[in-house]
Amino acid sequence: MRVFLASRNLKKIAEMERILREHLPDVEVLGIDQVDGYDEPVEDQSTFEGNALLKARAGVLATGLPSLADDSGLCVDALNGMPGVLSARWSGPPKDDARNNQLLLAQLEDVPDERRTAHFHCAVAFCHPGGEELTSGTMPGRVVREVRGNGGFGYDVLFEAEARPGLTTAELSIEDKDAISHRGWALRRMSPIVARILR
């Protein structure tokens, strides 16, 4: 059973495959780099949900496979919800996690600890011949003052989840992160829907 995931991020593809396999043990998740000549759409929507749907629709058209896409990002209260949908491109092109993290730390340098609250948000869209499905998940927490940890990706090295105080999400095991993450929540909601449709 094959599903296309509109992403080049190998860690994200592995994470999605792990969670989908709880309901679909034989699922194989293909990423963008496994599809010849795939032309990624411009993520120009103003919401996570809009970008996720845009990418999943493009995936179905390009591959003919049932397609999943997510759009996620970090929403920092002291920055009025930014970087939000611009999270991956916060420091400008090309996408660079280290540069994004440096910029975020600089922007929050004078913000006291009690005002460094934030949350990760993830929207997941599933497009298939019978229609479209959409769900989302969040992970509340705060932005710490220095980079910590080697796991995860993106802003994980700066984010301490409310559910696991004292550790950044980059310091958590894969299992612990999957259990509490915004993408984990969204995928666990979506997985039974995907399983029902594809069986």
Q: How confident is the model at residue 139 (pLDDT cuts 50, 70, 90)?
A: very high
Binding-site residue numbers for substrate are 7-12, 72, 153-156, 177, 182-183
pLDDT for res 24: 87
Q: In total, how many domains does the chain have?
A: 1
Per-position b or e across 100-139, b if 16+ CB within 10 A of its CB: bbeebeebbeebeeeebbbbbbbbbbbbbeeeebbbbbeb
pLDDT tops 90 at residue 199: no
Binding-site residue numbers are 7-12, 71-72, 153-156, 177, 182-183
Q: How confident is the model at residue 178 (pLDDT cuts 50, 70, 90)?
A: confident
Q: How confident is the model at residue 149 (pLDDT cuts 50, 70, 90)?
A: very high
How far apart CA 99 and CA 89 sit, in angstroms, is: 10
CA dihedral 152, 154, 156, 162 (to 10 degrees): -120
The verdict on whether 71 is a catalytic residue reads yes
Q: How confident is the model at residue 79 (pLDDT cuts 50, 70, 90)?
A: very high
Residue 195 DSSP code: H
Kindly report whether the global pTM for this prediction surpasses the value 0.85: yes
CA dihedral 94, 98, 100, 105 (to 10 degrees): -160
3-state secondary structure 140-175: EEEECCCCCCCCCCHHHHHEEECCCCCCECCCCCHH
* Across 46-57, average pLDDT: 97
Asked if 197 contacts 60 with a C-beta cutoff of 8 angstroms, the reply is: no
Joined tokens for residue 189? 């909601």
Residue with more model confidence, 79 or 178: 79
pLDDT tops 90 at residue 156: yes
The CATH number that applies at residue 146 is 3.90.950.10
How far apart CA 127 and CA 68 sit, in angstroms, is: 7
Of these residues, 33, 44, 71, 176, which one is catalytic?
A: 71
pLDDT for res 15: 82
pLDDT for res 22: 86
Residue whose pair of structure tokens reads 């996408």 in the numeric block: 95
Joined tokens for residue 142? 């705060």
Binding-site residue numbers for Mg(2+) are 71
Residues of the domain holding 51: 2-198
DSSP H helices in 87-130: 97-107
How many Cβ atoms are within 10 Å of 52's Cβ, its own excluded? 28
